[in-house]
Amino acid sequence: MSYTALYRKFRPTEFSDVKGQDHIVTTLKNQVCADRIGHAYLFCGTRGTGKTTVAKIFAKAVNCEHPSDGSPCGACASCRAIASGASMNVIEIDAASNNGVDNIREIREEVAYSPAEGKYKVYIIDEVHMLTPGAYNALLKTLEEPPSYVIFILATTEAHRIPVTIVSRCQRYDFRRITTDTIAARLRELTEQEQVEAEERALAYVAKMGDGSMRDALSLLDQCIAFYLGQKLTYDHVLEVLGAVDTEVFGDFFRRICAQDLPGTIRELEEIVLKGRELSQFVTDFIWYLRDLLLLKSDQGMEEMLDVSGDRLLRMKEDAGLTDPDTLMRYIRVFSELSGQLRYATQKRVLVEIALIKLCRPEMERSYDSLLQRIALLEKRMEEGAAAAAPAWKPPAVEAGREADAGEPRKISVKALPEDIRRFIENFQELRKKAGSWQQMVLKGAQCRELPEHAGVQIILCKNHAIDENELAERLEQLAEQEMNVKMKVQVSTPDSDPRAADPVIDLSGFIDMEIEIEE
Ligand SMILES: Nc1ncnc2c1ncn2[C@@H]1O[C@H](COP(=O)(O)OP(=O)(O)OP(=O)(O)O)[C@@H](O)[C@H]1O
Ligand SMILES: [Mg+2]
Ligand SMILES: [Zn+2]
């Protein structure tokens, strides 16, 4: 037994089955009821939204012997003849393959003969934008003054390519993209008829992937059902068949990018690749995720625009709080550029990785928005740094400063610190330069703090490096002795091994090249 694709099997045969085009269906039904039928119609709109379907139902309705409420009865001789394709009254022409003057001339000659039975001869010309200029001219003549028993229905996805002379002679109907909800409801209806068990989420995802086109959604559903024939259709199955990634992954991915966790994002990408997911699809879906976050951030009222569940909405709001709109726009820009490049790329994975590096390391880009992000990051670091240092900043220095000069804004004197520690910190940059090339690099941007009870200094590297911390500490101790004649305990920590939380230390990094002013 041959198999008929879902979208053909379930082509609506009456107006009530046409979903999401109520504005058109109602008008056409009213015309049939009132017997005020036009002689030329132009149906335009996205692929798979019901243009051909509605044209056929309309052709049936105008010829039906006893239409009810403007819809064809489906039972009379005319309805049955049209449904079986045997009727001479409905002529379908595919303009993609019959686009010449001669094809249209044939129609003109035929039009002269009135229908043998029934009331109207209906010509449905699909893909009408494919006609040649000569054919358009030939059609124009017929469209202008067709015999009263002829109806033309021109269908196209590209209305802008139809000459205005043609458009102005037709009643124009714009078929809308169908909403995800409407498509999902239709899918539910059809899976029930087909006796296929399917999860709500699975159908919702397929509907969303249809992107407004009912036919696309039905084809995807067909594909999923075929892959898991006889089994319940789950969300995971759908993701697998369509090569898509679970939405949870996007949140995870986004949080890692915000934390600038490059190794983490690359690892996650690897997993996605290993699972055999389609990278272009992943990038597109991620752009949509970012877009949703941006909407959430822009306005309270935007929540309704997103079709996500309450739980997920909460998480997405948290995610949206991790960054600012400028940064989100930068992310969207980088990924949109990427999705353009991916189309023709052979090494998709590498391109995605480069984009991730760009996102995690704004300093690698020179564009305006990455500069903005770098400034925002610096500001954030300064804020955090200031907040962390302030409470820890207590007695000796402040008191000493107060006593020194009471009236004016106070300047904290670096001298208030134990002499050796002060000198070490003042000369830290010099020591760094002498420490050796890799040491110098590793120490770049490091912070100095006093160890509790003036025991020495702690150096906190700005990043995690795979180094022997003790060895580096010893090297610094050596240098201090050699260059400054100071014996000093030095402890080196990385952000991971930093024991700050456990034992509070005083942040002295502010003393380097900077005076601190305390306002009353
Ligand atoms: N509005 C709709 N309601 C229900 N089913 C629809 C609708 N639109 C499309 N479909 C389904 O999609 C199939 C294709 O629809 P149709 O041929 O009418 O699309 P079209 O708009 O003519 O597309 P194209 O521009 O690609 O020719 C139909 O057989 C039907 O199963
Ligand atoms: Mg069509
Ligand atoms: Zn009928």
Locate 64 and state its tokens: 């039906």
Question: So what's the pLDDT on residue 338?
Answer: 92
- Ligand 2 ion: nearby residues, β-carbon < 5 Å: 51-52
Instruction: Decide whether any atom of ligand 1 lies within 6 Å of the 286 Cβ.
Output: no
Question: What is the CATH architecture of 6-175?
Answer: 3-Layer(aba) Sandwich (3.40)
Decide: helix, strand or coil at residue 146: coil
Å from CA of 139 to ligand 2 middle: 19
CA of 189, nearest ligand number = 1
Instruction: Decide whether any atom of ligand 1 lies within 6 Å of the 48 Cβ.
Output: yes
Question: So what's the pLDDT on residue 387?
Answer: 56
Decide: helix, strand or coil at residue 145: coil
Atom nearest to 55 CA in ligand 1: 18
Q: Which of 229, 242, 248 is nearest to 202 (CA)?
A: 242
Å from CA of 170 to ligand 3 middle: 26
Chain centroid to Cα 451, Å, comes to: 48
CB-CB neighbours of 146 under 10 Å = 18
- Hey, what amino acid is at 331? Y
Backbone dihedral region of 165: left (phi > 0), alpha (psi from -120 to 50 degrees) or beta? alpha
CA dihedral 486, 488, 492, 495 (to 10 degrees): -100
Question: What is the CATH architecture of 247-368?
Answer: Up-down Bundle (1.20)
Atom nearest to 46 CA in ligand 1: 25
What is the Cα–Cα distance from 53 to 31, expressed in whole angstroms?
18
Query: What DSSP character marks residue 220?
Result: H
Q: Which of 177, 133, 169, 130 is nearest to 153 (CA)?
A: 169
Mutate to test the pocket of ligand 1, among 21, 22, 52 (most ligand atoms within 8 A of CB): 52
* Residue whose CA lies nearest to ligand 1 atom number 16: 50
Top-confidence residue, 371 or 122: 122
Q: Tens digit of pLDDT for each residue in 421-463?
A: 888 887 888 888 888 878 888 888 788 888 777 778 888 888 7
Q: Can you tell me the mean pLDDT for 93-107?
A: 90
Q: Tens digit of pLDDT for each residue in 45-78?
A: 999 999 999 999 999 999 999 999 999 999 999 9
pTM: 0.64
Q: Return the axis-axis angle of helices 310-320 and 247-258, rounded to nearest 10°.
A: 20
What is the Cα–Cα distance from 340 to 337, expressed in whole angstroms?
5
pLDDT mean across residues, the chain? 84
Q: Can you tell me the mean pLDDT for 299-316?
A: 75
Atom nearest to 11 CA in ligand 1: 29
Q: Where are the domains of the chain?
A: 6-175, 180-242, 247-368, 397-518
Question: So what's the pLDDT on residue 513?
Answer: 46
Q: Which of 252, 335, 259 is nearest to 291 (CA)?
A: 335
Instruction: Decide whether any atom of ligand 1 lies within 6 Å of the 491 Cβ.
Output: no
Backbone dihedral region of 327: left (phi > 0), alpha (psi from -120 to 50 degrees) or beta? alpha
Percent with pLDDT over 90 in the chain: 41
Å from CA of 42 to ligand 2 middle: 12
What is the Cα–Cα distance from 119 to 60, expressed in whole angstroms?
10
Å from CA of 74 to ligand 3 middle: 5
Q: Which of 516, 476, 508 is nearest to 492 (CA)?
A: 476
Mutate to test the pocket of ligand 1, among 128, 214, 216, 222 (most ligand atoms within 8 A of CB): 214
Instruction: Decide whether any atom of ligand 1 lies within 6 Å of the 212 Cβ.
Output: no
Locate 26 and state its tokens: 């109602």
**Domain 180-242 CATH (choose: 3.30.70.330, 1.10.8.60, 3.40.50.1980, 3.40.50.300):** 1.10.8.60
* Residue whose CA lies nearest to ligand 1 atom number 4: 18
What is the Cα–Cα distance from 82 to 41, expressed in whole angstroms?
19
What is the Cα–Cα distance from 517 to 494, expressed in whole angstroms?
29
CA of 215, nearest ligand number = 1
Residues ≥6 apart with Cβ < 8 Å to 178: 19, 20, 21, 49, 210, 212, 213, 214
Å from CA of 12 to ligand 1 middle: 8
CA of 64, nearest ligand number = 3
Å from CA of 361 to ligand 3 middle: 68
